[in-house]
Amino acid sequence: MSTLILADHDNKELAPATLVAVTAAAKLGGDVHVLVAGEGSQAVADAAAKIAGVAKVLHADDAAYGHALAENLAPLVEGLMGDYDYLLAPATSTGKNVLPRVAAKMDTQMISEIVAINDDGSFDRPTYAGNAISTVKSSDAKKVITVRGTAFDKADAEGGSASVEAVSGAGDSGKSSFVSAEIAESERPELTSAGIVVSGGRALQSGENFEKIIEPLADKLGAAVGASRAAVDAGYVPNDYQVGQTGKIVAPELYIAIGISGAIQHLAGMKDSKTIIAINKDEDAPIFSVADYGLVADLYKAVPELTEKL
């Protein structure tokens, strides 16, 4: 038995979610290999080789793979799958984009965002915004799976000494090309791997209020900043802040929801957090039904006071 993991990275660093996929792969048993496809991505291949439990790194370095275009990556991955029983990727935007394309080429019904691997070879995955957990067993010869980033521990980034083998694929499909990106650089921890997340909702009313009220609290706690869909739609914060069913899934040690009502779509993205604090002026807000500590208060008074007193 053997597993190939499609690594997520930005050509410089390995995304931490990749380490979660390694843990899931180890649970499946057998050899674990990691594919690093990128451009100028030697540092990532070297980092992947150090992950504890990884036996081999396949490194495809080519301009065609620099932006993780699905049209170029999918044939490369598919071409390598002859030797493997499982294909895994973290359920990041790249994993979600590329893996179904590979699965269809392999005539395989992919399994999205697993949260558990059971002894009988079945998998658990949340559906209906996390309101139902389905246990599914695949009859496909090879299995293609994305792994939810919060569901397994991260494998040790150090301790392994895998060999790195260069591989190549067909390269550029000519069907798509990269034009530009707006990737925000932030000093704060990354949302999906942060230990503490402070999120704001529609009640913040503006981007300035996010800066004045949410960010100082986040900075005090060394936290990442998240948001509800309503706050993103209104343009208070960028799209990559959205926590929820159709945004990012987080499960930090502490999640603080401020001026967020707690719609099921939002809860789907944060209710596995260890401790939840909610600040909302409406005592009937559904967010209080999942909060360990609730404060019924006007956020414009309570949050600055909280930041001050911490």
Partner 1 sequence: MKILVPVKRVIDYNVKPRVKADQSGVDLANVKMSMNPFDEIAVEEAIRLKEAGKADEIVVVSIGEQKAQETLRTGLAMGADRGILVVADAMPEPLAVAKILAKVVEEESPDLVILGKQAIDDDSNQVGQMLAALLDWPQGTFASKVEPADGKVNVTREVDGGLETLSLSTPAIITTDLRLNEPRYASLPNIMKAKKKPIDEKTPADYGVDTAARLEVLKVIEPPKREAGEIVPDVDTLVAKIKEKGFAA
Ligand X SMILES: Cc1cc2nc3c(=O)[nH]c(=O)nc-3n(C[C@H](O)[C@H](O)[C@H](O)COP(=O)(O)OP(=O)(O)OC[C@H]3O[C@@H](n4cnc5c(N)ncnc54)[C@H](O)[C@@H]3O)c2cc1C
Regarding 305 and contact with ligand X (CB under 6 A), the answer is: no
**Site string (236-255) toward partner 1, x via CB under 8 A:** --xxx-x--xx-x----xx-
What three-state secondary structure class fits 100? Answer: helix
User: How many residues belong to the site for partner 1 (CB under 8 A)?
Assistant: 93
| 263 burial via Cβ count (<10 Å: 0-12, 13-18, 19+) | middle
Q: Which two tokens stand for residue 276?
A: 């939840």
Please report how the helices 70-80 and 93-105 are oriented relative to each other, as an axis angle in degrees rounded to 10: 60
Residue 55 and residue 44 in contact, taking contact as beta carbons nearer than 8 Å: no
Which range in 34-42, 56-64, 109-117, 160-168 contacts partner 1 by CB under 8 A?
109-117
Min separation Cβ 206 and ligand X, Å = 12
- Judged by CB, which is closer to partner 1: 3, or 242? 242
Contact partner, 230, from partner 1, ligand X, none, Cβ < 5-8 Å per class: ligand X
**Site string (60-89) toward partner 1, x via CB under 8 A:** -------x-xxx--x---------------
Rounded Cα distance, 68 and 60, in Å: 11
DSSP code at position 125: E
Contact partner, 290, from partner 1, ligand X, none, Cβ < 5-8 Å per class: partner 1
Residue 18 and residue 40 in contact, taking contact as beta carbons nearer than 8 Å: no
Using CB under 6 A, pick the residue from 97, 122, 168, 265 that binds ligand X. 265
Regarding 193 and contact with ligand X (CB under 6 A), the answer is: no
- Judged by CB, which is closer to partner 1: 126, or 160? 126
Which range in 96-104, 155-163, 210-218, 293-301 contacts ligand X by CB under 6 A?
293-301
Query: How far is it between the farthest Cα atoms of the chain?
Result: 61
Contact partner, 181, from ligand X, partner 1, none, Cβ < 5-8 Å per class: partner 1
Min separation Cβ 279 and partner 1, Å = 8
Rounded Cα distance, 202 and 130, in Å: 22
Using CB under 6 A, pick the residue from 67, 299, 306, 307 that binds ligand X. 299
Residue 74 and residue 6 in contact, taking contact as beta carbons nearer than 8 Å: no
Contact partner, 280, from ligand X, partner 1, none, Cβ < 5-8 Å per class: ligand X
Regarding 263 and contact with ligand X (CB under 6 A), the answer is: yes
Which range in 56-64, 67-75, 214-222, 276-284 contacts ligand X by CB under 6 A?
276-284
DSSP code at position 155: P
Site for partner 1 in 156-175 (CB under 8 A): 173-175
Question: By C-alpha distance, which of 255, 237, 240 is closest to 92?
Answer: 240
Min separation Cβ 190 and ligand X, Å = 18
Sheet holding 163-166, edge to edge: 111-114, 143-147, 86-90, 2-6, 31-38, 56-61, 163-166
Q: Which residues, in sequence order, are bridge partners of residue 126? A: 133
60-73 burial code (b ≥16 CB/10 A, e <16): bbbebbbbbbbebb
Rounded Cα distance, 241 and 192, in Å: 10
Residue number of the CB atom closest to ligand X: 244
